[in-house]
Amino acid sequence: MAASLSSAGNVRLLSTLARSGSLLSSSGSRSLHVTAVCCKNRAARIRVGKGDNPVTYEHAHAPHHIAHRKGWLSQHTSNLKGEDGAAERTVEDVFIRRFMFGTFHGCLANEIVIKRRGNLLIVCALMLQKLPPTKFYFLIGYSETLLSHFYKCPVKLEIQTLMDKAVYKYL
């Protein structure tokens, strides 16, 4: 709900800022329409609202707080100097995040943390206690087996469950 509100507001904001410089000519020739640039940074930020939207620590901080107040969600050696494989690791990370989001649908309390220790891929996730434990165990085993077969390396899932999301503040 909060997300849809912000997008509608964005459209309205853009339309008020838009100044279309179009040249109208009777002969029906085409012209270029330009709008002013909306110099606003919108990446990974939850806009301040009424104060009823609970937000985790991860979502409360914008990307420029990474390395100052936030750590990294994914850790591997490929981004160091002289090491290769950065692109492959990134694609793997993206796939793993989507996979986890889909497999444990609605249960994720926070972002997935991916760690790589040599050959081993460790996926740490915080979950809500929405499913009975037996279902959790099945899904964990299923994910581990499927991902290890897919990536040809051992994959371990470290799941912690909470009663509800750890709220940092209300926006």
Partner 1 sequence: MASHTSKAFLSLGRINVHGLGLQKPLSRFTYATALTISSANTSKGLPDRGGRGSFLRKPKRDAGEPRTEKMPVDQDWTAVYPAATPFRPGSVPLPVRMGYPMKGSIPPEKKGNLELIKIPNFLHLTPAAIKKHCEALKPFCTEWPSALDTDVKCDEHFPIKLQSTDYVFAGPSVRNPSARIVTLRVKVSSLNLDEHARKKMLKLVGKRYCKDTDTLTITTERCPLRQQNMDYVMYLLTVLYHESWKTEAWEAEKTVADMEEYSWEDSPSQRNILGTLVHMKVAGEGEGEEVREQLLGRKEVQEYKDSVTRLKNEGESESHMLQYKEAVKKLLNL
Residue 135 within binding range of partner 1, rule CB under 8 A: no
Beta bridge partners of 54: 170
To 5 degrees, how large is the angle CA 8–CA 11–CA 16? Answer: 130
Contact status: 55 vs partner 1 (CB under 8 A)? no
* C-beta closer to partner 1: residue 14 or 170: 170
In whole angstroms, give the CA distance from residue 112 to residue 93: 10
Q: How many CB atoms lie within 10 A of CB 126?
A: 20
Nearest-approach distance from CB 156 to partner 1, in angstroms: 9
Q: Exposed, middle or buried, 115 (CB in 10 Å: 0-12/13-18/19+)?
A: middle
Q: Three-class SS of residue 169? A: strand
Stretch of 12-20, 35-43, 80-88, 100-108 contacting partner 1, by CB under 8 A: 80-88
Nearer to partner 1, 10 or 116 (CB): 116
CA distances from 133 to 8, 14, 78, 123 (A): 40, 48, 36, 19
Please name every residue paired with 49 in a beta bridge, in sequence order, or none if there are none: none
Q: Does 149 bind partner 1 (CB under 8 A)?
A: no
Query: In this complex, which beta carbon is closest to partner 1, that of residue 58 or of residue 144?
Result: 58
- The correct pick among 6, 10, 75, 90 for binding partner 1 (CB under 8 A) is 75
Q: How far is the CB of 120 from partner 1 (least distance, A)?
A: 9
Q: Which of 6, 45, 58, 144 is the binder for partner 1 (CB under 8 A)? A: 58
Report the amino acid identity of residue 150.
F
Phi and psi of 27, rounded to 5°?
A: -75, -5
Residues that bind partner 1 (CB under 8 A): 50-52, 54, 56-58, 61, 65, 69-73, 75-78, 83, 85, 88-89, 109-111, 113, 115-119, 122, 124, 126, 129, 132-133, 151-153, 158, 160-166, 168-170
